[in-house]
Amino acid sequence: MNPAIAPEADEIDLRHLFNTLWLQRKVIGKFALACALIGVLIGQLSTKYVSEGVLQTGQINASNYKRYESVLLTGSNLAKFLERNKQANKDTAELLDGLSLSAARLKDAIKPEFAFTDKDQKSLGVKSSASDGGAMIGLRLSFEHSEPTLGAPVLLLGDYVRDTLLRVDLEGTVNSECLSNQTVEQSLRIAQIKDEFSTKQELARAKTLRGLNGKGGEVRQLVSLDKGGERFLSPQAQLNAVEITISELQLAQINRERDLKSSALRQAYYCETVKVLQKPGNTDVVLEEMKAIQDVVFKDQDKTVPIIEQTGSELNLQRLGWENTYLRGMRFVSSPEGSEVKSRKPGRATGLILGALLGSLLGIVFVFGRQWWQANKAEITAA
For the cut 80, the answer to whether the pLDDT of residue 329 exceeds it is yes
- What's 10's DSSP letter? T
- What's the mean pLDDT when you consider all of the chain? 79
pLDDT of residue 294: 94
103 versus 18: which is more confidently predicted?
103
Task: Identify each DSSP E strand in the chain by its residue range.
Answer: 48-56, 110-114, 136-145, 341-343
Please work out, in degrees rounded to the nearest 5, the angle formed at the alpha carbon of residue 46 by the alpha carbons of 45 and 52.
130
Query: Virtual CA dihedral for 212, 218, 224, 226, nearest 10 degrees?
Result: 30
**What is the C-alpha separation between 158 and 161, in angstroms, rounded?**
5
Q: What is the pLDDT of residues 260-284, one digit of tens each?
A: 888 899 999 999 999 999 988 899 9
Q: Angle, to 10 degrees, between the axis of helix 152-213 and the axis of helix 65-72?
A: 130
N- to C-terminal Cα distance for the chain? Answer: 34
pLDDT at 310 (0 to 100): 92
Q: Which residues contact 165 (CB under 8 A, 6 or more apart)?
A: 57, 60, 68, 72, 326, 330
Q: List all residues 6 or more positions away from 275 whose beta carbon is below 8 Å from its beta carbon.
A: none
State how far the Cα of 188 lies from the Cα of 194, in Å rounded to an integer: 10
Each residue's pLDDT tens digit, 190-241: 777 877 778 788 778 777 777 777 655 554 444 445 555 555 677 777 778 8
Tens-place pLDDT, residues 247-263: 787 777 777 788 888 88
- Other Cβ atoms less than 10 A from the Cβ of 15: the count is 8
Closest CA relative to residue 162, chosen from 370, 324, 20: 324
So what's the pLDDT on residue 1? 44
199: region left, alpha or beta (phi > 0 left; psi from -120 to 50 alpha): alpha
26-66 pLDDT, tens digit each: 888 888 888 878 776 766 666 677 888 889 887 777 778 88
Top-confidence residue, 234 or 330: 330
3-state class (DSSP) for residue 145:
strand
Which of 369, 348, 290 minimizes the C-alpha distance to 323?
A: 290
For residue 124, CA distances in Å to 45, 53, 133 come to: 35, 22, 13
